[in-house]
Chains A and B, each alone.
Chain A
Amino acid sequence: MALNSDILTKKFIQKAKNDPETFGQLFDIYYRPIFGYLLRRTANIDLAQDLTSETFLKVLKNFHQFKWRGENSFSGWLFKIATNEMNMHFRKNKRVFLLNPENPGFLDNIPASRDYFPDSEIIAAQEELEKKQEFLMIRRELNKLREEYQTVITLKYFEKKKIEEISQILEKPEGTIKSWIHRGLKELKESLQANETPQNIFHYIK
């Protein structure tokens, strides 16, 4: 049976709290969206792996606190944890590293879980990521914006979340989300106009 979010019912979630097999099924459904979100937010495979691990560990630790509030509530809760983990990481580790899509080793200076997964899959994933030139360029400009603007733009345009869902994930009113998106787009537009075709750029992640 192909697993998808259609099987997510209140009963299923309740069962997953105590049953490892059911939790495993939930993990199978949500690994890709969460890893993908963290990758599209960080543009960093190693970091996305670490944050995905931290996110699911937090989910497991705090699962008993989760309360069902409708069909999107579990997904929203996961994205909220992932967002918090990422923001916490950036606040703790204000790193500076070279982001140059033309340099295949541009992530090597970040010690991360790459050491534990030294296989061809990572190399292939790295190559796949480096092919996404436009994404990397937009991501680089997005990373110059305030953390909130980066998050709302990523959630809305990359993760295709509705305003209502973003509001639940970030626990902010919908009006605030709309205004962050508006201001974020304005700043992104200006930033893109100024730096549309950069080559080697030192990039600062907050």
Chain B
Amino acid sequence: MEESNFEKIEKRLRNIDLPDFELSRHKTVLRQNLLASPFFKKRHVFFDFRLTIPAFSAVSLIVLFVLFGYPHLRFFYQETKAEEILSMAEKAVENLDPKKEIYAFSEEREFTKLSPETPKGTIPTEKSESLAEKQETISSPNQGLEKIELEFNKLREAKEKGEIKFLQYVGEEKTLGLTLKKIRYVDKDNIVTEIKINSQTNLPVEIINWAPEKEINKPEMVRGIFADEEKTAEIKIFENATNIPKK
């Protein structure tokens, strides 16, 4: 019953004599205003003949620089900077004062004392004892410094063989009151390594390796790729026990 009533009203609505006209004056004035609007003017300023040639030349130069010049210049600059930082870091590790107290945060989540001349070991992090108390808890041999040296040796060898791609300075990071310079590179197996270096002492503070899902084939990809530190942190070095984060 309701359906048939709906049919009636639907039929009535469909057959209604509707107003259907346009207002030519309104249409003309609106059309003129729309076409003369600044939206089109802005877009067409480059088509002014007097401006066309210089504007086109300037735009072309900018486009060419953005497309070809800038990435290469940037890549070259970041590579040179990364080389400089690495070289200073290598020297800093070589000249490491044997008496300086340095702690490493290994992937086992233990702090390892790195002072080369003394027995090296680990300090549990869950306790908040003084430095002296922490040193007493040293129990296992340190491998942190060896890891850094190993990483640097591997890097040197790989560079000599030409197996390192896209060595890049990728910016700074501020953590635990330190300013860390970050460099990254990719090896022949597409493994990305990131080394964070203390800008004051030039000592490496953290080394991370990870295998990204995508193949890195452009220097800009090295900068953009995400590192999952929880899974991949190899070692974190702390030059001052007060910087050691509490669990």
A and B from one assembly? Answer: yes
Binding site for B on A (CB under 8 A): 18, 20-21, 23-24, 27-28, 31-32, 35-36, 39-40, 45, 49, 52-53, 56-57, 60-61, 63, 113, 116-117, 119, 121-122, 125, 128-129, 132, 134-135, 138, 153, 157-158, 182, 185-186, 188-189, 192
Contacts of A21 in B (CB 8 A): 35
- Assess whether A31 is in contact with B6, with CB atoms less than 8 Å apart: no
Binding site for A on B (CB under 8 A): 2, 5-6, 9-10, 12-14, 16-27, 29-31, 33-35, 37, 39-40, 43-44
Give the docked Cα–Cα distance between A28 and B16 (Å). 26
- Assess whether A135 is in contact with B26, with CB atoms less than 8 Å apart: no
Contacts of A134 in B (CB 8 A): 16-17
- Assess whether B16 is in contact with A24, with CB atoms less than 8 Å apart: no
- Assess whether B39 is in contact with A60, with CB atoms less than 8 Å apart: yes
Main secondary structure of the interface of A (DSSP, over half): helix
Give the docked Cα–Cα distance between A138 and B10 (Å). 12
Main secondary structure of the interface of B (DSSP, over half): helix
Say whether, besides A31-B27, A53-B30, A157-B10, A132 and B17 are in contact (CB < 8 Å).
yes
Please give 14 more A-B residue pairs, beta carbons under 8 A apart, in addition to A24-B34, A188-B9: A27-B34, A31-B27, A35-B27, A36-B18, A36-B20, A39-B19, A40-B19, A56-B30, A63-B39, A121-B25, A128-B19, A132-B18, A132-B19, A189-B5
Q: How far is the CB of A3 from chain B (nearest CB, A)?
A: 13
Give the contacting residue for A57; candidates B6, B12, B25, B34; CB below 8 A.
B34
Q: Report how many A-B pairs have Cβ atoms within 8 Å.
A: 97
Identity of the chain A residue whose Cβ is nearest the Cβ of B13 in the assembled complex = A157
- Assess whether B16 is in contact with A27, with CB atoms less than 8 Å apart: no
Say whether, besides A24-B31, A189-B9, A31 and B14 are in contact (CB < 8 Å).
no
Identity of the chain B residue whose Cβ is nearest the Cβ of A130 in the assembled complex = B19
- Assess whether A49 is in contact with B16, with CB atoms less than 8 Å apart: no
| 10 examples of A-B residue contacts, CB within 8 angstroms | A18-B40, A20-B40, A27-B34, A35-B22, A35-B23, A63-B39, A117-B25, A121-B24, A129-B19, A182-B6
